Amino acid sequence: MKKFLFLNPIVFLMFFLLFGCFGLKKSPEDFLIIQNKGSDTLVNLAQVWAENYGRINSKVAISVSGGGSGTGIAALINNQVDIANSSRSIKEEESKKAEQNSGKKVTEYVVALDALSVFVHPSNPLQGLSRTELACIFGSEGNCDNWSQIRNTVVPGCKNNKIIRVSRMSNSGTYQYFLERVIGKKKDMRLGSMDLNGSKESIDLVQNTPCAIGYTGMGYINDHIKALCVTWDEGGPCIPPTLENAMNKTYPITRELFMYTLGEAEGEVKKYLEWIKGIDATKLVIKMGYIPSPAYWSIEDVNRLKAQTQGQKL
Binding to another protein (CB under 8 A) within 40-79 occurs at 40, 43-44, 47-48, 50-51, 54, 61-68, 70-71, 74
* Binding-site member from 208, 248, 250, 298 for another protein (CB under 8 A): 208
- Binding piece for another protein, criterion CB under 8 A, among 37-45, 131-139, 224-232, 262-270: 37-45
Given 9, 79, 80, 263, the residue binding another protein (CB under 8 A): 80
Among 113, 137, 182, 211, binds another protein (CB under 8 A): 211
Q: Return left, alpha or beta for 107; rule: phi > 0 is left, psi -120 to 50 is alpha, else beta.
A: beta
* Among residues 101, 123, 222, 250, the one that binds another protein under rule CB under 8 A: 222
Q: Is 91 helix (H, G, I), strand (E, B) or coil?
A: coil
Closest CB 300 distance from another protein, rounded Å: 27
**Total site size for another protein, rule CB under 8 A:** 77
DSSP type of residue 146: B
**Distances from the Cα of 55 to the Cα of 48, 49, 59, angstroms:** 11, 10, 10
**Do 299 and 248 contact (CB within 8 A), yes or no?**
yes
Collapsed DSSP state (helix, strand, coil) of residue 181: helix
Which of 42, 111, 136, 164 is the binder for another protein (CB under 8 A)?
164
Binding to another protein, residues 261-290 (CB under 8 A): 288
Interacting positions 1-20 with another protein (CB under 8 A): 1, 3-4, 7, 10, 14, 17-18
CA–CA separation, 90 and 194 (whole Å): 28
Contact 41, 173 (CB under 8 A): yes
Given the complex with another protein, which of 310 and 313 has the nearer CB atom? 313
Using CB under 8 A, which of 81, 83, 98, 203 touches another protein? 203
Cβ of residue 237: shortest distance to another protein, in angstroms? Answer: 29
- Name which position in 145, 204, 268, 301 contacts another protein (CB under 8 A): 204
Using the rule CB under 8 A, give the single segment among 171-179, 242-250, 254-262, 298-306 that binds another protein: 171-179
CB of 4 to another protein, least distance (A): 7
DSSP 307: H
Output the CA angle 268-274-280, nearest 5 degrees.
115
Type of residue at 67 = G
Per-residue contact string for residues 178-197; x = within reach of another protein by CB under 8 A:
-xx----xxxx--xxxxxxx
Burial class of residue 187 in the structure, from the number of CB atoms within 10 Å of its CB (0-12 exposed, 13-18 middle, 19+ buried):
middle
Do the beta carbons of residue 114 and residue 219 sit within 8 Å? yes
Nearest to 273 by CA among 96, 53, 124, 86: 53
Q: Assess contact for 259 and 49: CB atoms under 8 A.
A: no
Determine which residue in the list 159, 233, 235, 300 makes contact with another protein, applying CB under 8 A: 159
Residue 210 interacts with another protein (CB under 8 A)? yes
